[in-house]
Amino acid sequence: EAQVTQNPRYLITVTGKKLTVTCSQNMNHEYMSWYRQDPGLGLRQIYYSMNVEVTDKGDVPEGYKVSRKEKRNFPLILESPSPNQTSLYFCASMDPSYEQYFGPGTRLTVT
């Protein structure tokens, strides 16, 4: 089954404790992206990657890092999380016709 997976689905952590949210897709898509969803703000793009070793900032990259060492994986790293990064995070991959496939989401709470 074609899918995008994210782990963990739920995470509660404390300010400053480094964390990684994993994302993997099995569709061989070149383009992958991370978004955060906040009430009233819709989805905002954090980072995207056009291909392996090619990443670029989206609209809200501050406080986040990404890496793309292999095509299927695109982890999101918060090196020093803060409460304003409490949000619902989505990973997505895109096929050549520009249709995006979203993961199930990761709900992050930073206290």
Partner 1 sequence: AQSVAQPEDQVNVAEGNPLTVKCTYSVSGNPYLFWYVQYPNRGLQFLLKYITGDNLVKGSYGFEAEFNKSQTSFHLKKPSALVSDSALYFCAVRDTSGRALTFGSGTRLQVQP
Binding site for partner 1 (CB under 8 A): 4, 31, 33, 35, 40-45, 48, 50, 56, 58-59, 90, 92, 97-105
User: Which is closer to partner 1, CB of 3 or CB of 80?
Assistant: 3
Alpha-carbon distance of 107 to 11, in angstroms, equals 6
Q: How far is the CB of 25 from partner 1 (least distance, A)?
A: 12
Q: How far is the CB of 14 from partner 1 (least distance, A)?
A: 25
User: Which is closer to partner 1, CB of 35 or CB of 74?
Assistant: 35
* Residue 89, CA distances (Å) to 1, 31, 64, 65, 96 in order: 22, 17, 12, 14, 23
| C-beta atoms surrounding 9 within 10 Å | 12
Question: Which residues does 47 contact at the CB level (< 8 Å), separation at least 6?
Answer: 33, 34, 55, 56, 57, 58, 61, 64, 66, 76
Q: How far is the CB of 100 from partner 1 (least distance, A)?
A: 7
User: Which is closer to partner 1, CB of 45 or CB of 67?
Assistant: 45
Q: How far is the CB of 2 from partner 1 (least distance, A)?
A: 12
